[in-house]
């Protein structure tokens, strides 16, 4: 019973698509009814033969004999036509049944997939920290397919099998309860064996599927990282590893083929057993005159026709079990509430932000039992000022700026914007006011223009060009074969590291954000270009708050406030001159980089 719960969540789909589902069930019933009538015609035809033979012999030598012959012939042709007609009707109904129920299941699949994707879009960054992409892909493909099979094929088989078995059994019992009892002896055996067989087939095809995923993700990773692979001359090792995985895949495939091959003979044997029992017991009954020879033929056809519906029951049960397991996996995602969303205390009247940022004793952990990544962070940055964050790698800089965009919520303490707790500002307002350039650039496999316009879908060509100019990318784009319409390849593979970074900056600038966050976003450009970009940004001084995370002193020395992070704590705070007077980590870094620059100039 418990297993039914996740599937119960699909019930509203049966109602939503009732215009397809109800006719589908009706077609299933009618098609079954038509096929049940076929054996009756066969019986009538067979039983006509002895009667005709008697009459034919009785009138032997007279003209009436020819008349009977013609009559008999017409009768058989007539019955034959009816059988063809019944089969045609049954076939048409089967076609319509598939056209309705299978179509319905495709609609449900479409709905579910969209629902899942919508939901995935709404989930916060912390969800993706703990869930693998490959896992989500499986949910979106194979789990949804399992659920679809329950809605579509499983329901279809079930409806058809039910109507067929009930109708055929009724017809059989009316003729002879005793023979019916004998004829159906192998049926439960059949259902049970199919059930177990289906279990084995399914577990093996899952294993096959898993191996296929392993294989494809291996290939995907290897091809995506082909540069590294070649640089480290790992081609042969990779090819060998692939061959091994591929061999496992082949073995799994053969495992599956073996069961599938094995079960067909069992299936045929059980059908054969039924036929033998019918002939043996039916023959005795016919000899006693309890039934006719035609009835035996009729029975054999019923029994043969019944095997597939009965066998399908075994399949249907495993289909339902699997759909249930898949659905609960889907529900686990659908029921995950985004942990960053609009708060009950949210003030919807706030539509714009100025960009005064305040951290008040903020602490952060990625997981409950994890270490404190940030601790006791307090500072204030005025609207329109430039805030810089420096610190060794892993000191918590990226984590801190992600909190400003509310991609992460503080574990303790409060982050405020314009004096208001971030949680009380609508997520949408906050994010549309922020231009965030993450440390790891992500470009979509689209044109340069579209990648930049991603920051503001309503941007005009001029605005795109302006943003590109401010990001010092315009000259580069002019050299591209198709200018703004050049495709950047998968994740921007055809661009240089610095070009990718600057595209990403242009994408943020085009939003004309109140707060601009550059998380190490100038690391791949030379100092010359860096200072050009920064001076463009400074030309709009006072209009927007800029947060710069960098390892380079040259990028941060003009900031109004510089925070020096060390192991998640602020160890130094002030402007360039103040920090030099303190003579701590910042001064240290400055001296080293100054020295490096001098050496670089000398050589």
Residues within the interface to ligand ATP (CB under 6 A):
129, 366, 373, 391, 393-399, 439, 520
Quick note: the x/- pattern for Mg ion over 382-401, rule CB under 5 A, is: ----------------x---
What number of other Cβ atoms are within 10 A of residue 534's Cβ? 21
Min. distance of Cβ 518 from Mg ion in angstroms?
A: 11
Beta strands at 515-519 and 357-365: parallel, antiparallel or unpaired: unpaired
Residue 77: half-sphere exposure toward Cβ, Cα within 13 Å: 6
Handedness of CA 519, 520, 522, 524 (dihedral sign): negative
Binding partner of residue 544 among ligand ATP, Mg ion, none, CB cut-off 5 to 8 Å per kind? none
Long-range residue pairs from 196-205, CB within 8 A, at least 24 positions apart, any chain = 196/314, 197/259, 197/263, 197/266, 197/314, 198/314, 198/315, 198/317, 198/318, 199/318, 200/259, 201/256, 201/259, 201/260, 201/263, 202/318, 202/322, 204/252, 204/255, 204/256, 204/259, 205/256
Position with the least CB separation from ligand ATP: 398
Burial class (CB in 10 A: 0-12, 13-18, 19+), 12: exposed
Q: How far is the CB of 439 from Mg ion (least distance, A)?
A: 5
Residue whose CB is less far from ligand ATP, 506 or 549 = 549
HSE-up of 594 (CA within 13 Å, CB side)? 8
322 interacts with, out of Mg ion, ligand ATP, none, CB within 5 to 8 A per kind: none
Spatial distance between the Cα atoms of 522 and 538, rounded to a whole number of angstroms:
15
Task: Rank residues 316 and 570 by Cβ distance to ligand ATP and give the closer one.
Answer: 570
Shortest separation between residue 508's beta carbon and ligand ATP, angstroms: 18
Which entry of Mg ion, ligand ATP, none binds 129, CB below 5 to 8 A by partner kind? ligand ATP
Nearer to ligand ATP by C-beta: 272 or 394?
A: 394
Q: Which residues contact 182 (CB under 8 A, 6 or more apart)?
A: 277, 278, 281
Phi and psi of 573, rounded to 5°?
-150, 135
Asked if 523 touches Mg ion (CB under 5 A), the answer is no
Nearer to Mg ion, 385 or 398 (CB): 398
Euclidean distance between CA atoms 460 and 483, whole angstroms:
16
For the bound state, the minimum distance from the C-beta of residue 401 to ligand ATP, rounded and expressed in Å, comes to: 8
Q: Is 542 helix (H, G, I), strand (E, B) or coil?
A: coil
59 makes contact, choosing from Mg ion, ligand ATP, none, with CB < 5 to 8 Å by partner type, with none
Give which of Mg ion, ligand ATP, none residue 314 binds (C-beta under 5 to 8 Å, depending on kind).
none
Nearer residue to ligand ATP within complex by CB, 50 or 394 = 394
39 binds, among ligand ATP, Mg ion, none (CB under 5 to 8 A by kind): none
Residue least distant from Mg ion (Cβ) = 398
Select 175 or 589, whichever has its Cβ closest to ligand ATP.
589
Question: 435 contacts which partner out of Mg ion, ligand ATP, none, CB within 5 to 8 A by kind?
Answer: none
How far apart are alpha carbons 549 and 253 in whole angstroms? Answer: 52
Residue 157 or 364: the one with the smaller Cβ distance to Mg ion is: 364
Nearer to Mg ion, 86 or 547 (CB): 547
Task: Tell the smallest beta-carbon distance from residue 127 to ligand ATP (Å).
Answer: 11
The least CB distance from residue 311 to ligand ATP, in Å, is 50
Q: Which of positions 408-447 make contact with Mg ion (CB under 5 A)?
A: 439
Buried b (16+ CB within 10 A) or exposed e, 447-475: bbbbbbbbbbeebeeebbbbbbebbbbbe
In angstroms, what is the minimal distance from the CB of 337 to ligand ATP? 20
Q: Residue 62 and residue 109: Cα distance in Å, rounded?
A: 70
Ranges of H-type helices in 288-426: 293-334, 397-404
Q: Taking the mean position of all CA atoms in its chain, how far away is CA 442?
A: 21
Q: Least distance (Å) from ligand ATP to the CB of residue 550?
A: 9
Nearest to 594 by CA among 549, 553, 551, 550: 553
451: contact with Mg ion by CB under 5 A: no
Considering the complex, state which of residue 441 and residue 459 has its C-beta at the smaller distance from Mg ion: 441
Asked if residue 498 lies in contact with residue 529, where contact means CB atoms within 8 angstroms, the answer is yes
Question: Is 405 strand, coil or helix?
Answer: coil
Q: Which is nearer to ligand ATP, 45 or 553 (CB)?
A: 553
Q: Which is nearer to Mg ion, 399 or 433 (CB)?
A: 399
DSSP annotation of 258 reads: H
6 binds, among ligand ATP, Mg ion, none (CB under 5 to 8 A by kind): none
Q: Which residues make Cβ contacts (< 8 Å) with residue 186, sequence separation at least 6?
A: 270, 271, 273, 274, 277
295 binding Mg ion? (CB under 5 A): no
Residues contacting Mg ion: total by CB under 5 A: 2
| Residue among 203 and 439 whose Cβ is closer to ligand ATP | 439
Which does residue 309 touch among ligand ATP, Mg ion, none (CB within 5 to 8 A, set by kind)? none
Comparison of 31 and 398: residue with beta carbon closer to ligand ATP: 398
Q: Phi and psi (nearest 5°) for 495?
A: -100, 155
> Is residue 582 a contact partner of residue 602, using CB atoms and an 8 Å limit?
no
Nearest CB to Mg ion, comparing residues 345 and 393: 393
Measured from the CB of residue 355, what is the shortest distance to Mg ion in angstroms?
21
Minimum gap (Å) between residue 216 Cβ and ligand ATP = 25
Shortest gap between Cβ of 410 and ligand ATP (angstroms)?
13
CA atoms of 40 and 259, how far apart (whole Å):
36
Tell me the closest approach of the beta carbon of residue 455 to Mg ion, in angstroms.
Answer: 21
Shortest approach of ligand ATP to residue 439 CB, angstroms? 5
Burial class (CB in 10 A: 0-12, 13-18, 19+), 248: middle
Among ligand ATP, Mg ion, none, what does residue 421 contact (CB within 5–8 Å per kind)? none
Q: Give the nearest distance from C-beta 378 to ligand ATP in angstroms.
A: 18
Sheet architecture: strand order including 357-365? 372-381, 357-365, 412-417, 420-421
Q: Which residues bind Mg ion (CB under 5 A)?
A: 398, 439
């Amino acid at each position: 019973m418990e297993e039914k719960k996740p599937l119960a969540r699909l019930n509203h789909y049966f109602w939503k698509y009732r215009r397809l589902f109800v006719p589908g069930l009706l077609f299933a019933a009618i098609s079954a009814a038509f096929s049940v009538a076929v054996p009756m015609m066969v019986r009538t035809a067979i039983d006509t033969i002895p009667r005709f033979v008697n009459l034919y012999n009785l009138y032997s030598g007279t003209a009436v004999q020819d008349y009977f012959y013609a009559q008999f012939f017409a009768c058989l042709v007539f019955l034959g036509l009816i059988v063809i007609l019944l089969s045609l009707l049954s076939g048409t109904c089967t076609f319509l049944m598939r056209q309705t129920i299978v179509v319905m299941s495709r609609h449900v699949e479409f709905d579910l997939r969209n629902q899942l994707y919508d939901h995935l879009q709404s989930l916060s960054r912390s969800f993706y920290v703990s869930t693998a992409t490959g896992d989500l892909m499986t949910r979106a493909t194979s789990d949804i397919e399992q659920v679809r099979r329950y809605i579509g094929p499983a329901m279809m088989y079930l409806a058809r099998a039910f109507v067929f078995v009930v109708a055929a059994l009724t017809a059989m019992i009316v003729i002879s309860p005793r023979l019916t009892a004998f004829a159906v002896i192998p049926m439960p055996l059949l259902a049970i064996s199919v059930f177990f067989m289906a279990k084995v087939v399914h577990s093996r095809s899952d294993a096959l599927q898993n191996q296929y995923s392993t294989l494809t993700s291996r290939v995907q990773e290897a091809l995506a990282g082909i540069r590294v692979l070649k640089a480290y001359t790992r081609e042969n090792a990779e090819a060998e590893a692939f061959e091994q995985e591929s061999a496992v895949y082949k073995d799994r495939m053969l495992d599956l083929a073996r069961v599938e091959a094995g079960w067909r003979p069992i299936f045929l044997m059980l059908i054969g057993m039924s036929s033998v029992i019918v002939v043996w017991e039916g023959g005795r009954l016919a000899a006693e005159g309890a039934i006719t020879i035609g009835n035996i033929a009729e029975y054999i056809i019923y029994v043969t026709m019944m095997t597939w519906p009965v066998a399908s029951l075994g399949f249907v049960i495993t289909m339902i079990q699997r759909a249930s397991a898949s659905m609960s996996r889907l529900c686990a995602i659908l029921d995950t509430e985004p942990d960053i969303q609009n708060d009950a205390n949210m003030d919807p009247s706030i539509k714009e932000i100025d960009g005064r940022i305040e951290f008040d004793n903020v602490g952060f952990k990625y997981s409950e039992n994890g270490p404190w990544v940030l601790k006791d962070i307090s500072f204030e940055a005025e609207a329109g000022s430039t805030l810089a964050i420096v610190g060794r790698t892993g000191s918590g800089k990226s984590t801190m700026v992600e909190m400003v965009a509310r991609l992460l919520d503080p574990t303790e303490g409060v982050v405020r914007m314009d004096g208001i707790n971030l949680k009380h500002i609508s997520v949408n307002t906050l994010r549309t006011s922020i231009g965030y350039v993450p440390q790891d650039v992500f470009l979509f496999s689209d044109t340069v223009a579209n990648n930049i316009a991603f920051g503001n879908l309503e941007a005009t060509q001029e605005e795109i060009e302006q943003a590109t100019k401010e990001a010092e990318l315009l000259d580069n784009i002019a050299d591209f074969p198709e200018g703004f319409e050049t495709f950047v390849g998968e994740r921007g593979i055809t661009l240089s590291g610095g070009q990718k970074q600057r595209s990403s900056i242009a994408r943020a600038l085009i939003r004309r954000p109140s707060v601009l966050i550059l998380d190490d976003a100038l690391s791949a450009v030379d100092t010359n270009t860096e200072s050009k970009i920064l001076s463009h940004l400074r030309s709009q001084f006072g209009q927007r708050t800029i947060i710069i995370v960098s390892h380079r002193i040259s990028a941060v020395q003009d900031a109004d406030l510089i925070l020096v992070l060390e192991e998640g704590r602020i160890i130094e705070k002030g402007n360039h001159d103040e920090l030099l007077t303190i003579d701590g980590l910042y001064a240290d870094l400055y001296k080293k980089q100054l020295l490096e620059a001098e050496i670089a100039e000398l050589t």
